[in-house]
Structure 1
Amino acid sequence: MNNYIPNTKEDIKSMLETIGIHQGGVEELFKGIPKELRAQSFNLPDGKSELEVERHLLELGKKNVTDLIYFTGGGFYDHFIPSAVDAIISRPEFYTAYTPYQPEASQGTLQAIYEYQSCIARLTGMEVSNASLYDGGTALYEAAMMAIRITGKNKIIMDGGVSPIYRKMMYSYTSNLSIEFVEIPVSHGQSDREKIKKYLDDKTGAIILQNPNFFGAIDDHTDIADMCKKLGILTIESVYPVSLGILKSPGEMNIDIATGEGQSLGIPLSFGGPYLGFIATKKEFVRKMPGRIAGATIDSLGRRGFVLTLQAREQHIRREKAMSNICSNQALCALRALVYMSLIGENGLKDLAELCYEKAEFTKKRLEEIKGIEVKRSSPTFNEFTIKLPKNPNEILGKLIDKGIAAGFPLGRYYKDMQDYMLIAVTEKRTKHEIILLADALEAALWN
């Protein structure tokens, strides 16, 4: 009976009678749901064979435009991923998303998580990392809650250069909590020190910064971190991991908590996910850090082994007393990041970051040659920068999509006073030919 599937009206009637429904039929099952909330119809199409379904899905897939030349960014980037990444993470012993509670059966997964944490800690210049989070936005939220737990203060200062996507997530996640947020006015340049200093007080638990910020501007937040430390305020910095190949790390700036989106570490764009959030901090705050932590230990025979440590499962089901609602870990995405970082190595990451920077600088110079385009140069940038156009970019972006180019991100989508501004990102994948193609297409769209 375990494999039995009812397929006749008599079968359904018999099943309904078994659970006490003798009249009203299936409709009786849904009487507790208001009619306006019910699905309008359960008239599903007839089933198809595997071949027919495959053919249908392939036809649907052809409607997606997947061969664009990408100059879009905003926190998610088109980087090259070595084929070895897919080959390794597709091995069956790794292909699970469940948390490895039983160390005697999970040494491989636990070691992978441990090595991932080590890579993130080294990359960010911090002392400890957890076993990963869902994405960059949730990682930033968890860092804010972590700072509130550590300081006991519920006021958060948030720099306007922090991603508007992350800020939206922050407000959504904390909408039912008594947290006071203060946003420093947004700028195309670096963080406004004077305005930040104005809002720091004894009620402030943390300040949230981003480097490079959403507009691509590079900053050194060491002075802000030192200023906050004197006031007992924690500094949180969201970073773009690839940029750390050449930029000063959060640890070198004396930042307390570092977070970021790990998509650029070997994870494909994939129409929006799944992605990877990372969080790293100083050892003194490790017991307030959310999520899983894998540790290395020695067994009774002196052999090295790996276990989940500090974060017990029971801690995360204690309702309002729980430190976090992050109960699982993104082990597969974290493994991708680990394999990618291991393959590319320290020198490779530096070379990659330099390539991104140099290609972005070349793109700036080429675009500045076009009449009507202004490249914002108030601050140094990494691989992403802001331009101002003589007209709203939405129409221009549509024209370039038709030419196979995703030209950038229109800032007017998030900022009402930036309707003529656009964000352009350049990765190592963009060739000189493609950059010139972008410039020529932009010029033609503007003036032809």
Structure 2
Amino acid sequence: MRYLPKSPAERQEMLAAIGAKSIDELFESIPEKYRLRDALKLPGPFSEAEVISYFKERANENSLGYTSFLGAGVYQHLRSVITDTILLRGEFLTSYTPYQAEITQGTLQAIFEFQTLMCQLTGQEVANASMYDGATATTEAALMAERLTGRGRVLVARSVHPEYREVLQTYAKNSGLHVEEIGYTKTGAVDVVAVKNALKDDVAAVIVQSPNFFGVLETLPGIAEAAHARGALLVVAIAEGVSLGAVKPPAEADIVAMEAQSFGLPPSYGSREKFVRQMPGRLAGETTDTEGQRGFVLTLATREQHIRREKATSNICTNQALCALAATVHLALLGKEGLREMAEQ
């Protein structure tokens, strides 16, 4: 129920409507000794996160309060109420692509800010805003590496999320891409020696996940060095975006594919700016209009399906602007310290 304060004039108007002269007159039937004259002894104000946590604890007293061990990329994180408040505004509530820049500056700027945040998180130079999930982002990264290098084989660590690998194999089955899986050691990390032995001149990319499916941080510098020595690219998949609040961004990667569901949106992925024309998905760019004012447009659109059709970089064409807005609002509210705190919970 919303709290709607009343002005003194409004209170007098309400009292007059019921024939009362004062608020005290409303409580004359209550004996004086039972009336509260002092302020309630309540604790100080709680933050939104503390209020939600408090009431969840109280609510769980009425149930068994099962603890979820689902894992595998599905985790419970705090999601601010204000995120939905902004998403439900009529100006934003659409999944359609903002092709007409002159009437969609707000949506385009939100996408641009989202891309900026993703670059800051991943350590990459450019990011898109339009993949379906972490699995398709990783697979599209593999196809992007194939186009960039002209090579037809990719190495993927078995420590990568099994569903990601399954989607990659499904794509590869009909695209001609050859996928070779590399095992992991007793520590749960990818077998770097096996990676080096499998690297040949026909390998387009090495795909690893960090933290991987077992929660192990991979030694990215060593893997990147080995891949680059044979002319291959390093693709790093991130199944839990919140982890970047606590671990170093994978700056060694040529392409990063991230599942950012924890921020209230589908994933996007980032890469080096020199690879941008082979990157699938929508890109919002910053520009200036004819009057010299800052503006935003969809840029490099000739890579996309609505223009290139079968020659596009990807068949994925659904726009995720509303979800990108959710992530932008969520991350803006958290800030750097808030994201770190969430990652450490």
In structure 2, what is the equivalent of residue 342 of structure 1? Answer: 332
In structure 2, what is the equivalent of residue 394 of structure 1? Answer: none
Q: Displacement, 1:171?
A: 1.1
Identity among equivalent pairs (%): 47
Q: Displacement, 1:232?
A: 1.0
State whether structure 2 residue 296 is matched by structure 1 residue 306: yes
Distance 1:90 1:161, change over 3 A: same
State whether structure 2 residue 336 is matched by structure 1 residue 352: no
State whether structure 2 residue 325 is matched by structure 1 residue 325: no
- 3-state SS in 2 of match to 1:207: strand
- 3-state SS in 1 of match to 2:249: coil
For the residues of structure 1 that align with 2:308 and 2:116, how far apart are their CA atoms? Answer: 29
In structure 1, what is the equivalent of residue 135 of structure 2? Answer: 137
Distance 1:160 1:314, change over 3 A: closer
For the residues of structure 1 that align with 2:304 and 2:86, how far apart are their CA atoms? Answer: 32
- 3-state SS in 1 of match to 2:331: helix
For the residues of structure 1 that align with 2:344 and 2:232, how far apart are their CA atoms? Answer: 34
Amino acid at match of 1:99: T
CA contact (8 A) 1:156 1:180 kept: yes
In structure 2, what is the equivalent of residue 226 of structure 1? Answer: 225
For the residues of structure 2 that align with 1:282 and 1:177, how far apart are their CA atoms? Answer: 24
- 3-state SS in 2 of match to 1:312: helix
- 3-state SS in 2 of match to 1:92: coil
For the residues of structure 2 that align with 1:183 and 1:211, how far apart are their CA atoms? Answer: 16
TM-score, length basis structure 1: 0.60
For the residues of structure 2 that align with 1:123 and 1:314, how far apart are their CA atoms? Answer: 25
CA contact (8 A) 2:132 2:267 kept: yes
State whether structure 2 residue 147 is matched by structure 1 residue 149: yes
Residues 187-209 of structure 1: CA deviation (Å, up to 9, x unaligned): 55111111111100100000100
Residues 412-436 of structure 1: CA deviation (Å, up to 9, x unaligned): xxxxxxxxxxxxxxxxxxxxxxxxx
TM-score, length basis structure 2: 0.78
For the residues of structure 2 that align with 1:305 and 1:151, how far apart are their CA atoms? Answer: 34
CA contact (8 A) 1:208 1:236 kept: yes
For the residues of structure 1 that align with 2:306 and 2:66, how far apart are their CA atoms? Answer: 43
Distance 1:179 1:314, change over 3 A: closer
Distance 1:320 1:103, change over 3 A: closer
- 3-state SS in 1 of match to 2:205: strand
**After the TM superposition, which residues 103-118 of structure 1 pair with which residues of structure 2 at under 5 Å, given as runs?**
103-118=101-116
In structure 1, what is the equivalent of residue 94 of structure 2? Answer: 96
CA contact (8 A) 1:156 1:181 kept: yes
CA contact (8 A) 1:316 1:326 kept: no
Instruction: List gaps (5 residues or longer) in structure 1.
Output: 1-64, 268-274, 356-448
Residues 331-371 of structure 1: CA deviation (Å, up to 9, x unaligned): 1111111111110011111122223xxxxxxxxxxxxxxxx
Q: Displacement, 1:324?
A: 0.9
Q: Displacement, 1:186?
A: 4.2
For the residues of structure 1 that align with 2:141 and 2:288, how far apart are their CA atoms? Answer: 31
Q: Displacement, 1:319?
A: 4.3
Amino acid at match of 1:241: G
